[in-house]
Structure formats: C-alpha cells, structure tokens
A and B are shown apart, each in its own frame.
Chain A
Amino acid sequence: MIRLEKRPQPSRALSLSTPIMAVLATFIFGGLLFAVLGKDPVEALQTIFWQPLFGEYAFYYRPQLLIKGAPLVLIAIGLSLGFKAGIWNIGAEGQYIMGAIFGAAVGLAFYPAEGWYIFPLMVLAGALGGWAWAMIPALLKVRFGTNEILVSLMLVYVAEQFLASMSLGLLKNPEGYGFPGSRNLQQYASAHNAELFAGSGMHWGVVAALIAVIFAYVLLTKHRLGFAIRVTGEAPRAARFSGVNPARLVLFCLGTSGLLAGLAGMFEVSGPSGQITIDFNVGYGFTAIIVAFLGRLHPIGILLAGGLMALTYIGGDIAQSNLGLPAAAIQVFQGMLLFFLLALDVFTHYRLRFGAAEAA
C-alpha cells in the first residue's frame, strides 16, 4: 500500500525544485500531447519557448512579453501577500475591471483637453477603483465574517455587468455609430499610456510591475508587516499572540491586491488595449493566481513565473498559426503546468511511504 506521511518539516530542497520539476513534467506530457495530435513535439515546444525569445521575429515578441507579462506580475504580487497570510482574494479580475473603468472614466472626463496632470489622475483613479472593489469583501469579512473567496469571486461577475453597462452607456464613444465601446485612449495623447521607448514594450505598467516586485520583496523581508503576513499564514495562533491584528491584516492584504489589480487594469486600458469594451477583460485576474503559485508566492519567483506564462501565451499563438495546433491544446498545456506544480507540491509537505501503516 502507498500512503502519504506528513514531513515534520517541509522539505526546503523540494520547495525550491518543484517549479522546475513541474515545468519539466509539463514539457514531457505536453510533448506527448502534441505528439498524439500528430505534431512534432520538439518543434512544438521549440515554437512555444524558443521562437518568442530568440526566433526570427524576436525583436517583436520580446517587447510583447513585457506587455503580456506586466499585468500578470502586477496582480500576482498583490495576491501573493494575501495568499501568504491565508487571505484569499479570488476576485482580482473584477478589481482589474474596476480599475480600468475608473481610470478610463477620469481620462475620458477630460476629453479633449490636453494636460500633463491627466494621466497621473487616471493612475490614482485606477488604483482607487481596484482598491474600493476589494474593500467590499474585506469589510464584509472583518465586520460580518463572510467568506472573502466567495464574495470577491462573485464581485467579478458584478464588475463584468458594470463593464457591459459602461461600454453600452456612460462611456460609449459618441462617434462610434452606436456600437459599444469607449473612445480609444491611444488616440488621446494625454491619456495614452504609450511606450516609454518606441518599440520596447516598456510602458508605465511594466515599470509599476517592477516597482511592485521590489516593494513586495522589501516588505516581506525587512518590514514588520511582512513578518506579520508570514506568521499569520504559517501559524495563525502564534500570530495572534505576537500581537498581529487580523482585521487590519485582511484590510491591508485585500486592499493592496485590489489596488495593484486596479492599476493593472488602468495601465492596460490606457495602453495596449486602449478601449473600454464589453470584452475588455481577458482573464488576467485569474491567470495571476496561477502565476502567484507558480512563483511560490515569492516576489522574484512571481516575476519569473509571469514571464513564463506570458511566453506560453505568445508562443502558443505562434504554434497555433505556424503548426496548426488547436487553441484547446495550448490551454491544456498551460493547465498542466499548474496541475503538476500543485501535485508535486504535495511532496514538499508529505512523503510517500510504501507498505502497511504502522500501528499507532
């Protein structure tokens, strides 16, 4: 008989190596999947992982990695703070939407005036939108003990309805022939989150993501609040004895993750996307959950994981068009990555035992 036995201490070696092992396992089983679909697995993996970085058109794809990865990293950093402390914000997608709506609304309110102050105000509004949306589950949890997982998730659907209403009503482009969707902020200089250097992919969202990584790193390693977060996640009772205020921690973690998700939405709508539309959100808020775990809830890990996820998206699209791989196969491939990570994670905390259970 095979059974799992809890390790007295989580294995440190395994904790560091599981992400790499998960990636390798994904390569092997993903390769098998591609082979079964009749594609050359080596060529498929090479297309997904090599082409965007070093292929013929890498000059175009490398900046795209930043554009795709920045919102993932920005959101995942915020989520990781809460996840470390056992506070589960599953609704980053909704906070991302609200950040975008708030940010875009402020920008559009000034249209067509030009001024240096417009973009900073949009940034503030975006952060406020995401923060406020996350405060709903936070306050409900602190005041009434509701489950933040459910409330934050349900608020995603509320935010989506709100987004549809905004695209069809209040923020609709008056020159859009009745079609839904706002004006394109890319065509409004003061509100455009343009690339800082043309062709580099570096926009303010990328800068914000990098700052967030550094901020989170310092917070978690040097600051008392970071200590409180870590202790609460590892030993909630001990945390309480050491003077951590759980309510304040809930407000901080949900608020920060909402704020960062809101910023991500705002940078996206004013930059790469340009428009508030009904289908504005494409799942960054949910994918960021994967990124946070893939990065072991560690700021540097999240930075790497965000890059990896972005790579699979961009490489996946190339594989679709060049090799004719179906989109579903790419999604399965991405799913495998999380599955193997979580599956292998079990062995960090447990070890396999063969043979009958010892009598207690």
Chain B
Amino acid sequence: MKLSTLMTSAALALGLASGAVAQDKTKVGFVFVGPVGDGGWTYEHNQGRLAVEEEFGDKVETVFVESVAEGPDSERVMTQMALDGADLIFTTSFGYMDPTINVAKKFPDVKFEHATGYKRADNVSTYSARFYEGRAIQGHIAGSMTESNIIGYIGSFPIPEVIRGINSAYIHAKKVNPDVQFKIVWAYTWFDPAKEADAAKVLIEQGADVVLQHTDSTAPQAAAQEAGNVITFGQASDMAQYGPKPRVSSIIDDWAPYYIDRVKAVMDGTWESKDTWDGIGPGMVGIGEISDAVPADVKAEALELKDKIASGDYHPFTGPINKQDGSAWLAEGETADDGTLAGMNFYVEGIEGTIPQ
C-alpha cells in the first residue's frame, strides 16, 4: 500500500534524523478513553504513566491524549504518536483493538500494548488484570456485612470481564451468606456520573445495602453516602475520600509495575509480543485498605482470602460450580481455565436475571 510505505519511510526518516536523540530518550505514548481526572480507570493508567516518568527520568518522554473516542479517532491519534516518533504506545481501552492492529501494521518498528483485548501481532502485546480476584474479596465482605441480603451491582457492559466480576463476587458472597441475592443494573457506560448515580439510587431503593460497581466514577459512592446505611467499594481507583464508610475497601488497578517493565524492555531491546493477565500476586490488582467499618473478623477473613489468592493456593473459580441453568460447569476441586474465563458469557447458578443480548 502506498500510504503505508509513505509512512514507514517518514517514520524511518524521522528515526534517522533524530537518531542521536532517540538513542537516549525513549518516547512512550498513551491513548486514554476518558479524562485523566476520572478518578477511576483512566486516572490509574495515567498514574502508571507518571510512574514511568519517575522511574526513568530524563531517559523517557511520555505523551498522552485523553478522551479519545474508539474508532477512527483513536486510529488517527495512534498514527500521530507513531509519526511523532513514539517507540511504544499503550492503548488503554478494549474498543481500541482493531485500530491498534491497523496502525501497528503500518509501523512495524513501533511497539504497541493494547489493554484488555485479544488480538496480537509481532509488535502488539495485550495485557489485562484479573479483577475477578479482587471481586472475590469484595463478595466476601459484601456477603458478610449485608443485612437486607440484597447486594446491588452496577454493570457497565455485559462483556466477559464484567460478567466474571459478577460471578466471582456472587460465589463468595453466597459462601458466607446463603440467603444473599444480587440485583444487577446495566449502565451501558464506563464513565457517566449521572447514570451511575441513578443506577445506585435505584438499587438502594430496591433494598440493597451494598452497592458494587464496575463503572469508574465516584457517583455511586456519593449516592450511598447520601442514603446512609449503605456500603460500597472503590472501583479501579482507591476512592479513599469516601472512606471509612460508605467505601469500605476497593479494587485498585496498579499498572505502574507493568508499564515500567515494558518500557524497560523496549530500552533494552528485549521487548516481544506476549499476553499478560496478572492478578493480586504480581501486584496488578491491589486491594485498597479495608476500613474500620468492617468487623475485625470479616476483615481478617478477607485478608486471608487475599493472601491465598496471591500465593496461588486458591482460585476464585473452584468447583463445584454450576451454571445458571443448573448444568455442571466445574467439578469438585476443579478450577476454571483461562480460555473459559476470557470468554465468560454465562451466570453461575443462583444469580437471577439474564445477561442482556
């Protein structure tokens, strides 16, 4: 293709022209789906970016563009970064998958890292976190603390990642409280404070005294605070400003170690395409401090669960587990394989309602 040759030669020319500078400065680009001040998903990716700057100082230059729409806009932003001499580009939303692959084809010398996707190439890696490990701990605390036995859950989109989280939280809530019931509301957004607040209010009105969220704003926390006797968990980011109650703990995405690791690999020339799916053990998923609003024994159990997951002694999806329709999924002692988890599109037994299709 004409364009691709044109661009490769342009990139090459740039590489030659600024070769001396490029030698000691690695340029890293970040494409963000939300604003860096969202307090959740994008905020944590940006923290990772800042950690890269801190770690490598003068040896690295980072650039970012925030609130980039998925689709052709993201493709343009990535191309622009590659043209401007980026060596490594992190694209941090699932919807950037095809655009990342398209741009990567045109710039074979630039490395790409796509978060939460499943398409890879020689110069495209994928990475994601095992958030469901954190959901297990949330489920345990939620099931132990609920008095109404109704746990509200704000889903973003009915995709495998979110469904995994719901299942994991439900399984562990049910273990400590057989009467527990989940009410799930789909917000169809990752970040929309108004919609998230509405969803939280609806759930609280329906009797939920625990609200879990898979959306990124702090609006549900604020709604819970207003309602009074409701507890919540920080999502993606610690959201500590809502502690010690309603926010009693949180799942924190910690991308910093991974970002530093990958930037270093590019500097050393050891970068290669791979798929990374890390959890609590390697530190990609962090559990925010469990506040004093949680009874001491529950807190101790939660921390024990966390340690067991981190060490690999316990897998949150360990049989016996049936699917929602009653058919067997995992036998006694069997653990789920990553393939099934990656494409999970069913609820486990006991959850009411259907996954929107």
Contact = CB atoms under 8 A, between A and B. Distances in A.
A273 B72 contact: yes
Contacts of A169: 356-357
A317 B65 contact: yes
A278 B70 CA distance: 10
Nearest to B64: A321
A178 B345 contact: yes
Interface string B245-281: 0000000000000000000000000000000000000
Interface stretch (B154-162, B220-228, B233-241): B154-162
Contacts of A60: 3, 7, 10, 79-80, 83
B71 A318 contact: no
Contacts of B157: 164, 168, 180, 278
B52 interface: no
Nearest to B3: A199
Nearest to B83: A57
A177 B342 contact: yes
Contacts of B158: 168, 180
Interface in A175-213: 177-181, 184, 186, 198-199
| Interface SS of B by simple majority | mixed
Nearest to A187: B98
B357 A168 contact: yes
Contacts of A277: 70-71, 95
Interface residues of B, number: 44
Given A164-B188, A178-B159, A179-B160, A322 B3 contact: no
A200 B76 CA distance: 14
B159 A282 contact: no
A282 B73 contact: yes
Interface in B82-118: 83-84, 94-95, 98, 102, 118
Interface in A321-336: 321-322, 324, 326-328
Contacts of B76: 64, 68, 314, 317
Which 6 pairs, one residue from A and one from B, show the smallest C-beta to C-beta distance? A199-B3, A272-B72, A282-B69, A178-B345, A169-B357, A327-B67
Contacts of A317: 65, 68, 73, 76-77, 80
Given A64-B76, A279-B70, A179 B94 contact: yes
Nearest to A169: B357
Nearest to A282: B69
A198 B1 CA distance: 7
Given A59-B6, A327-B65, A275 B83 contact: no
A273 B98 CA distance: 9
Contacts of B77: 317, 321
B143 interface: no
Contact of B84 (A186, A273, A322): A322
A280 interface: yes
